[in-house]
Chains A and B, each alone.
Chain A
Amino acid sequence: MNKNNFPQGDAFRRELDGRYRKATIGQTAFLSALLIAVISLTALLYNIVDGAFGYTAYEYKIDPSTITSKPLNELSQQELVDVLKTNLSKGAYNKLNNEQAMEKRSQADLLSLVLERIIRIDTKGVWSLTESLFHKADIEAEIAEKYPDAKLEFRTWLTMSFLTTPMSSRAEFAGARTAILGSLWLVGIAILFALPIGVGAAVYLQEYAPKNLLTRIIQTNINNLAGVPSIVYGMLGLALFVRVLEPFTSGKLFGVTDSNGRTILAAGLTMGVLVLPLIIINAQEAIKAVPDSLRQAAYGVGATRWQTIWHHVLPNSIAGILTGTILSISRAIGETAPLIVVGASTFITVDPQGPFSKFTALPIQIFNWTTRAQPEFHAIAASAIIVLMVMLLSLNATAILLRNRFQRRL
């Protein structure tokens, strides 16, 4: 458009209409970017839920009816022990008995043993929720043709027993109990390490630090640490906590002899270092939000610096600090890469006993199960993801509630 020749009459109309049309197209384009984000999120959640439920076709190596006349899950504890005794070889039975005395095992535990060792379920196919709902006839036809002996059953992979049973090499019996406990241990250690140090550093930087080069370096450094890829923290953990500090992290210093450095403690400290910058930055923001008039008032009546911080600054910023901490916890709980590097085990059936145990964690199991070829493992990976997302969601909801309360007060 020539500036000196402003269009007149019809030309002006056309020009204006064109610009309005462009404006509408632009707005639609911008909105569609957000719609793509919404669609992606929906697809992701759909994909997870879709995987955690659905039909599964399976065969038994030994039909349960040849063992007992009653349905398996109605057998009493004693009857289950008898079934195990008669159907397992002597050596195998004794081995199980040595691990934990048969009489002391729960009915559910015995039942899963019977299913796992004697009946030996063999999954022939797994279908997603959508397929199960809309293509039921096709699935039935396919099963009837390929595996006439197989039973078809709608299975909810995410069940109470999935949460409470330990790991198993068979997806059908595997649970997330060891992984959930491992994750809780890790986060606990990480927070115990990072929270006091992080808040301390934030208080120092906001309340004490003089405006000099060192302070500037510390501040820049913290911002940079927050941007270091998590896997690099994993390498730090491997070199420092697993290897150099092995006597400490393996518990040798405390008389624990049966482990190497790849323990919950080493992984928890690695996580602690990883979330430390986040905690510091969030705590700094919270402390910054405390109005200066509060500090001036405290100084005015003769309080010392620490008294001012302890009695006025910290109580008024505690909600913000906690919000930041919760967000850091939710970061730590979903972090996978550093745990792989530090040496999480992918298969453990015993609960973590203390900081010097070997460990696994929820995201590690999700990774492990996702990368397996068999579709039944994808189903339990989806279930584990639901568990993880529910944990994250409740953490974030707590953080939002805290934030709202915090905003009202100041």
Chain B
Amino acid sequence: MVEFSLLELGELFVVVAIAGAVGARLGLSVIPLYVVGGTLASPFVAGRLGMPYVETGEALTLLAELGIVLLLFFLGLEFSLDRLLAARTNITRSGLIDISINLPIGVVIGLALGWSLVEALLLGGIVYISSSAIITKSLIDLGWIANAESEPILGTLVFEDLVIAVYLAVVTSLVIGGDGIGQVAQSLAVAFGFLGALLVAVQYGTRFFTDVLDVDAPEPFVLRTLGVLVPIAGFALSLGVSEAVAAFFIGMGFSTTEHRERIERRLLGIRDVFAAVFFFWIGVNTDPRLVVAVAVPLAITVVVTTPTKIVSGYYGGRVYDLPPKRSLRVGLGMVSRGEFSLVIAALAAGGTGRVMTEIIPAFAVGYVLVMSTLGTVLMGESDRLERLVFSQGTAEQVADG
């Protein structure tokens, strides 16, 4: 196997740059396009066509891992416990409606496909978690951000963000932990021990986080942030604990300091670069033939999990006292799945067995491609859908039906 080279890295950046330009031109989200770009540049497509292709190797995987760490770090940075507590009744109620409908549906589909409980749980996560990145961008692009529906949508996303941190911690232990109950229990104990200690450090470490970044020059500022983030995430991973969750907690630690906005400004570019590498890496590892092979369960999952998100979102909107039309929009707004489904897929790829290493990643890629596009289209066509739904009868009938 050829080692990942600078030339291949160059090809990577050319491809994601073109994908980004195509996305901007067509008004599509860039995340699925980066994945498609990766697939086109993979040994499975470009390689078979005799064109220069990008071989996935340890180096690329490492850069992609950095992408996951930075994605979750930013999530933690934006995540405020205070904010969650301030709006806890509404956020909790709409968040609980969301999770109690969408997570079990995914698990049931997984079990129906004959997968193990852990594999089904992975599918549950993939179909449960909406895409903060795609949805937030659509909200801004469509101007919904200034409307009442933005609050339940963003609030539910915040709830999901918290759930995903816990979920990743548990699932990482289950995937890496091995087979025996004892082994799983042990890795869960290590995970929660480490993350618990990290959470305490983050909670009482505001002083540390403030002091360590107390420097004016931009260069040491960026380097110190990475100097805290990357080693802790790496240490977590070496213990078999989710590096993504560790990164999320460190982000929360920095979010309580006065440096938060500066971190966001200074590190946004770095995050975008490595997040693009991550999505590309997902694509490179995807054999389109595998996606085609899972087309039938994929189609069934899309057909089932689109309405479930719309329904859970609708009731989420009702919790916020929105009128039925706007509540429907909340539902349509929650349909897009994206980056976190792919993070879960990447996690599954590190497991054992054909379902985890091949089927779930291919399934997730197909699912994210469909759901991100469908979600964006549904939001764009919401006016027409509202007329369609509400010309038939009253809101209550829709709610009941």
Partners in one complex: no
CB within 8 Å of A: which residues of B?
none
